[in-house]
A = this chain, B = another copy of it.
Amino acid sequence: MSLNHHGATALSPPARLPDDLESTQDKIRSVGLRATPARLATLLLVQQRSSPLTHAEAAQALAAKGIDKATVFRNLNDLTEAGLLRRSELGDHVWRFEATGGHTGSEDNHPHFICIDCGSVTCLNDLQLTAGSKRESEGVGQVTEILLRGHCNNCHEPSC
Interface residues of A (CB under 8 A from B): 88-89, 91-93, 95, 113, 115-116, 122, 124, 126-130, 132-133, 136-137, 139-153, 155-156
B136 engages A124 (CB within 8 Å): yes
Q: Are A127 and B137 also in contact (CB < 8 A) when A143-B149, A150-B144 are?
A: yes
Q: Give the complex CA separation of A150 and B134 in angstroms.
A: 13
A144 engages B151 (CB within 8 Å): yes
CB distance from A73 to the nearest CB of B (A): 14
CB distance from A137 to the nearest CB of B (A): 6
Chain B contacts for A143, CB-based, 8 A: 113, 148-150
B116 engages A144 (CB within 8 Å): yes
Chain B contacts for A152, CB-based, 8 A: 140-141
Residue of B nearest to A141 (CB): B152
A153 engages B127 (CB within 8 Å): no
Chain B contacts for A130, CB-based, 8 A: 128-130
Residue of B nearest to A153 (CB): B141
Q: Are A91 and B147 also in contact (CB < 8 A) when A128-B130, A136-B124 are?
A: yes
Chain B contacts for A142, CB-based, 8 A: 150-151, 156
Picked from B91, B127, B150, the residue with its CB within 8 Å of the CB of A136 is: B127
Q: Give the complex CA separation of A76 and B146 in angstroms.
A: 26
B129 engages A156 (CB within 8 Å): no
Chain B contacts for A151, CB-based, 8 A: 141-142, 144
Chain B contacts for A150, CB-based, 8 A: 141-145
